[in-house]
Amino acid sequence: MRILTMLMALMLGLLTVPGEENSSLAKKNGYVINLDRAEKLEKMTYSSLFSKAGIIVLEDTDESLLGKVDKLEVCDNNLYVLEKGRGLFLFNKQGKFIKMIGRQGKGPGEYIDPDDISIDRENKKIYVLDSQTQNVLKYSGNGTFESSFKLENKGTRSTFIQPFKNALYTNLYTFDKSGKRFLLSKVDVTNGKRISFQFEASQYNKGWNELFSTDQHTFISGPTGNPKFMQIFMDTIFEITPKGIKPYITLQSKKLVTKEYLETLIAENDMSKSARVSKIYDRLMKSDKIYNVFDYWETAKYIHFGYYVGHYGYSILYKKEENKAYVMSGITDDLLYTDKAGTLLVSKLYSFDENRVYCIGMNDGFTKDIFFENMKKGGINPRIEGADKLQTLTEDSNPIIIYYEFKK
């Protein structure tokens, strides 16, 4: 068997020597992670982290047929599935289609170009960002439209949102390059006005503030704890708390992208042309520089997320009780696949709750073909939860949700 897609994984590091006292110190002051000192693991399996895997087949009615899943949020027994540019779909955890939340249009509760969704877990509300109009729409947990507001944009634009403590946080792209270019803004949810601006790009993101992003999270919101904020070239993952924003994980490595390195790339390209921005990213993929944290999940025992070195993905597992980090370039999915599988695809992480991580499978023609090929070969474990529903899948089926349950 060969691994086609590497686990886009994480990075964490060591604060000091292992020990309960040092672990408590890390929790209080935030984690300082030296990626160069993380212990290398040659082999790791999903069964070492998760107790089991399962499949959720999303019902495909005329109303719920999806072209692609772009974002998934999980709350209680609900699955909120976003297809960008089309709409937000509500399923339950058994995969049954409940309803479409909002519709494309210009009336109350409607959107033109839905680009991001986020959950206010405390108040059980759903927020949708309409990228084209910069409107934010709020719905109840069951999808009933409640209100909307337009983001106050003066030379700025937002593409990601995160509700927290009766306010809304957004990322920022600033068109006016003559002044300060901030990365984060706090918004009044009653009128859309910007309450505050934080994290100047020149100081926190190596000067990068372009309307271009890799497949990153930006905001991370788990079932417990405070939401996190990050950007592609940040050395720090920040935590949004009721008392303010503070560092949560500080990354250290000799290979992290520096401001000087990025300035060199920018100077060689005309940043007024979007194609030039893509060329800078192409240069990064051919370098040995570290950038772009993604695939973050966290439990009481572990922190996990990924980063790139050039175009290679690496994963780190940080064990909180040991106060120690382990890095690996791949991981074997021995829960979903059998030894009869041909190509092993590592499914991209989309969401997590207190019990599981949720990934999306069959999200395009390429991955769908490989999944069906493995099914024919007996390469999909028949003992996974929901395996009986795999026989209902066809080439026209919706993408599926693959979940992995944390060990207790």
Read off the pLDDT band of 273 (50, 70, 90).
low
- Which of 126-130, 152-156, 301-305 holds the top average pLDDT? 126-130
Question: What does the DSSP assignment read for 181-201?
Answer: -EEEEEEETTT--EEEEEEEH
Of 2-6, 131-135, 293-297, minimum mean pLDDT range: 2-6
The closest alpha carbon to 229, from 172, 278, 176, 180, belongs to 172
**Which of 55-64, 209-218, 392-401 bottoms out in mean pLDDT, i.e. has the lowest?**
209-218
Residue 309 has pLDDT above 80, yes or no: yes
Across 27-40, average pLDDT: 85
pTM: 0.90
The H-assigned helical ranges of 61-121 are: none
DSSP for residue 220 = E
Could you tell me if 389 and 54 are in contact, meaning their C-beta atoms sit under 8 angstroms apart? Answer: no
Mean pLDDT of 146-158: 94
Instruction: Give the model's confidence band at 150: pLDDT under 50 very low, under 70 low, under 90 confident, else very high.
Output: very high
What CATH number does the domain containing 234 carry?
2.120.10.30
Check residue 255 and give its pLDDT. Answer: 96
Rounded CA-CA distance 245/214 in Å is 24
What is the pLDDT confidence band of residue 171, given thresholds at 50, 70 and 90? very high
Percent of the chain with pLDDT over 90: 73
Q: What angle do CA 343, 344, 346 make, to 5 degrees?
A: 145
- Rounded-to-integer distance, Cα 52 and Cα 214, Å: 30
Q: How many domains does the chain have?
A: 1
Percent of the chain with pLDDT over 70: 90
What is the rounded average pLDDT of the residues 102-128? 95
Give the pairing type, strands 400-406 and 356-361: antiparallel
Instruction: Give 237's pLDDT tier (boundaries 50, 70, 90).
Output: very high
Residue 144 dihedral angles phi and psi, to the nearest 5°: -80, 130
What is the domain extent for residue 147?
2-406
Of residues 376, 393, 368, the one with CA closest to residue 340: 376
Alpha carbon 176 to its chain centroid, in Å, reads 28
Mean pLDDT of 62-89: 96
Q: Name residues whose C-beta falls within 8 Å of residue 365's C-beta, 6 or more positions apart in sequence.
A: none
Average pLDDT of the residues of the chain? 88
CA gap 149, 137 in Å, rounded: 7
Q: What number is the average pLDDT over the span 383-391?
A: 95
Strands in 61-210 per DSSP E: 71-75, 78-83, 87-92, 97-101, 103-104, 110-111, 114-120, 125-130, 135-140, 145-150, 156-157, 161-164, 167-171, 173-174, 182-188, 194-200
CA 71, CA 49: separation in Å to the nearest integer? Answer: 24
Amino acid at 203: Q
Residue 11 has pLDDT above 80, yes or no: no
Amino acid 27 reads K
State residue 12's pLDDT score: 32
Q: What is the mean pLDDT of residues 259-278?
A: 78
Which residues 6+ apart lie within 8 Å of 344 measured at CB?
A: 1, 2, 3, 4, 332, 333, 337
Question: pLDDT (tens digit, 9 = 90+) per residue, 371-381?
Answer: 999 999 999 99
